[in-house]
């Protein structure tokens, strides 16, 4: 049986952290997703995939058996897409 502290950590990561993670992934997808022929695919597809991102990250946070692995994966996703966005805005200058 999981302790109260473990349940609180899991639900914090499943709730607000998964939502912030999905937002960062959606924003990062605009950088690394191919533009397509009309050059809007990298903007439209992340917006359309946002609900799927939120649900999949939430379910992963709730259903993973090991709390430490879940926290590590969630923080790695946050860090990876934060670095992608920071690099993009630093190199490109926001455009």
For the stretch 61-85, pLDDT in tens is 999 999 999 999 999 999 999 999 9
**What pTM was computed for the model?**
0.82
pLDDT at position 44? 86
Give the count of domains, the chain.
1
Section 31-58 average pLDDT:
86
pLDDT of 95 reads: 57
- Give the number of other Cβ atoms within 10 Å of residue 93's Cβ: 7
Containing structural domain, residue 45: 4-93
Residue 94 has pLDDT above 60, yes or no: no
DSSP states along the chain: ---HHHHHHHHHIIIIIHHHHHHHHHHHHHHHS---SSS-HHHHHHHHHHHHHHHHHHHHHHH-S-HHHHHHHHHHHHHHHHHHHHHHHHHH---
Q: What is the pLDDT of residues 38-50, one digit of tens each?
A: 777 788 888 899 9
Percent of the chain with pLDDT over 70: 95
């Amino acid at each position: 049986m999981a302790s109260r502290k473990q349940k609180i950590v899991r639900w914090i990561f499943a709730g607000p952290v998964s939502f912030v993670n999905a937002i960062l992934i959606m924003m990062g997808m605009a950088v690394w997703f191919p533009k397509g022929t009309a050059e809007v695919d990298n903007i439209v597809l992340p917006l359309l995939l946002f609900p799927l991102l939120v649900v999949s990250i939430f379910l992963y946070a709730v259903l993973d058996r090991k709390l430490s692995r879940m926290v590590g994966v969630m923080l790695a996703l946050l860090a990876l897409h934060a670095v992608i966005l920071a690099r993009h805005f630093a190199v490109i200058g926001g455009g």
